Amino acid sequence: MSTAGARWWRDAAIYQIYPRSFADDNGDGVGDLAGVRRRLGYLRDLGIDAVWFSPWFPSPMADAGYDVADYRDIDPAFGTLPEACALIDEAHALGIRIIIDIVPNHTSVAHEWFQRALTDHAYRDRFWFRDGRGALGDLPPNDWGSIFGGPAWTRVTDGQWYLHLFDAGQPDFNWDHPAVRAEFEDILRFWFDRGVDGIRIDSAAMVVKDPALPDFDPLSPPDPHPWNDRDELHEVYRSWRRIADAYDPPRALIGEVWLADPQRFARYLRTDELHAAFNFDFLGCPWDAKALRRCVDETLDAHTAVGAPATWVLSNHDVTRHVTRYGRAETGFDHALRQARHLAPSDLTVGTRRARAAALLTTALPGSVYVYQGEELGLPEVEDLPSSARQDPIFARTASADPGRDGCRVPLPWSGTEPPYGFGGPGWLPQPSSWASFTVDAEAADPDSMLSLYRAALALRRAEPGLGDAPMTWSDSPEDVLAFTRPGGFACIVNLAAHPVALPPHAAVLLASGPLDGGLLPGDTAVWLRLTA
Ligand code: NOJ
């Protein structure tokens, strides 16, 4: 386990499993818990401290499981509750902690409460049902749009409308209703009682709405907002923190908080709220030394002010894989630009080189680090999926204009030379025929592979007392170079310039993301050093 013991979440390396695409044991083309249990040794050897599972609950899969029909069970496509409990125990025996995804903002239309609400108006208060506008009530109650495209309202047969910030299959809960609050407190205890070490909170800043559900005011600042970052939601997380802290060891709360303002972001990380939140500023930051330095500084300043650990994230199941992003002329990420950048040329050799350097950068920074499944293999985004295969609701809700997020969700390649590459059955999304060199087996046998780099970096990170939660200090360096030290004479240098730069004298190389050129560090390369003087 991580060096921090009970405060493991402060410096853990956390691996994200997207269950549909990790490993398929029963051969139906969809990943499952049996597949994960069979690969726990792989995760142990990778050197991670915890696994975060994207939702594994029963779901109609309108949004790949982020539409939860029952928060206390496992989707039959993935397995059973006893299997999940066995998985938790087996992971613990290997020193791996388990984080599960809790989705509080919305549920599924198949959830018992929503089904009841369709016929029993007493249940409608648990959601946001409203009459429509216009003489016939056939216009949505306000002007909010769904984040996935189209209106945020869907009409039911008796004429009322319900709010869904995402897909129509994902009705939003009304968090002003005491039954909703009590239900989630119980769900948290259900999983904590079964040994789950922490939760990732989906759409954590959206949970509370302005109950007047006003139209957008174009003159008001983006946040707080009628449905984002409202002050009232902090009390929800304070109550969750009390629950998490009542366990021994305390359970961790990790928020998915997309906010532009670092000060408002840090409010979620006050000592009586969440333990950590994903650093999307870093994920979206272009591959540019000045921008990255500024992002690291702003991150550390905002987190230090509230005593919270920073997190470092390069990819997840919602964003274009960073090998592909970093190979483009525009290397940053922004959801609003996904459509515009889809299929923009990407030099994957350059992208991979940068991704290797970024792996050493993120694992050397203070705080915890997230690895999205397949990132350790250097997988690129699959951009040419056929339309008929795409399942992300964004694709359908934007009339195919936005390709959505399926390209980063393609099943993992484990072995062999052709699809399904040891995944199990032919995957629910097709794997490229060019992935033979990305399989776990191929990369495990290659000391220069991305997998070997991640294994080496995570092993060194764990062994190095000055990494993890300890402070960092920037060193003097040219503008295109990021250089910093950590306690114990550890240094990390990342060269983002096109030309090589000199390495400091009196330093021994611990690990490099690519070949060094004598005493020079080539462009787009990172190195870890032990300073000897
Ligand atoms: C954020 C999740 O990461 C994403 O995959 C999902 O579609 C939305 N929240 C809605 O649950």
CA distances from 200 to 188, 341, 455, 515 (A): 11, 29, 24, 37
| Cβ within 8 Å of residue 500, ≥6 positions away | 517, 520, 521, 522, 523
Nearest CA to ligand 1 atom 6: 66
Strands 129-130 and 161-163: antiparallel
**pTM of structure:** 0.97
pLDDT for 2: 43
Tens place of pLDDT for every residue, the chain, 533 residues?
Answer: 344 477 999 999 999 999 999 999 999 999 999 999 999 999 999 999 999 999 999 999 999 999 999 999 999 999 999 999 999 999 999 999 999 999 999 999 999 999 999 999 999 999 999 999 999 999 999 999 999 999 999 999 999 999 999 999 999 999 999 999 999 999 999 999 999 999 999 999 999 999 999 998 777 777 778 999 999 999 999 999 999 999 999 999 999 999 989 999 999 999 999 999 999 999 999 999 999 999 999 999 999 999 999 999 999 999 999 999 999 999 999 999 999 999 999 999 999 999 999 999 999 999 999 999 999 999 999 999 999 999 999 999 999 999 999 999 999 999 999 999 999 999 999 999 999 999 999 999 999 999 999 999 999 999 998 898 889 999 999 999 999 999 999 999 999 999 999 999 999 999 999 999 988 999 999 999 999 97
Distance CA 44, CA 97 (A): 11
pLDDT for 90: 98
CA distances from 508 to 115, 335, 527, 530 (A): 64, 41, 10, 5
pLDDT for 3: 41
What secondary structure letter does DSSP report for 95?
T
Distance CA 404, CA 147 (A): 12
> What is the whole-number distance in angstroms between the Cα of residue 402 and the centre of ligand 1?
16
Q: Which of 318, 333, 409 to mutate to test the pocket of ligand 1 (most atoms within 8 A of CB)?
A: 318
> What is the whole-number distance in angstroms between the Cα of residue 203 and the centre of ligand 1?
7
Strand partners, 484: 474, 492
Distance CA 58, CA 68 (A): 6
pLDDT for 470: 87
Q: Which of 21, 54, 63, 402 to mutate to test the pocket of ligand 1 (most atoms within 8 A of CB)?
A: 63
Pocket (CB within 6 angstroms of ligand 1): 63, 66, 103, 166, 202-203, 256, 317-318
Nearest CA to ligand 1 atom 5: 318
pLDDT for 456: 98
**String of DSSP letters for 126-193:** GBTEEPPBSTTS-B-SS-PBPTTSSBSEEE-TTS-EEE-SS-TTSPBB-TTSHHHHHHHHHHHHHHHH
pLDDT for 1: 36
Residue 321's SS3 state is coil
Distance CA 262, CA 31 (A): 36
> What is the whole-number distance in angstroms between the Cα of residue 187 and the centre of ligand 1?
19
From the CA of 63, give the closest atom in ligand 1: 7
From the CA of 405, give the closest atom in ligand 1: 5
Question: ω before 478 within 30° of 0 (cis)?
Answer: no
pLDDT for 220: 78
Nearest CA to ligand 1 atom 11: 66
Q: Are 463 and 487 in contact (CB under 8 A)?
A: no
From the CA of 166, give the closest atom in ligand 1: 10
> What is the whole-number distance in angstroms between the Cα of residue 66 and the centre of ligand 1?
6
Q: Which of 61, 66, 335 to mutate to test the pocket of ligand 1 (most atoms within 8 A of CB)?
A: 66
Nearest CA to ligand 1 atom 4: 318
From the CA of 165, give the closest atom in ligand 1: 10
Tens digit of each residue's pLDDT (9 = 90 or more) over 317-349: 999 999 999 999 999 999 999 999 999 999 999
The first and second tokens of residue 271, run together, are 């000592």
From the list 307, 495, 334, the residue with the least C-alpha distance to 402 is 334
| Residue matched to tokens 């984002």 | 228
Nearest CA to ligand 1 atom 3: 318
Q: Which residues are catalytic?
A: 202, 256
> What is the whole-number distance in angstroms between the Cα of residue 397 and the centre of ligand 1?
15
Distance CA 20, CA 17 (A): 9
From the CA of 66, give the closest atom in ligand 1: 11
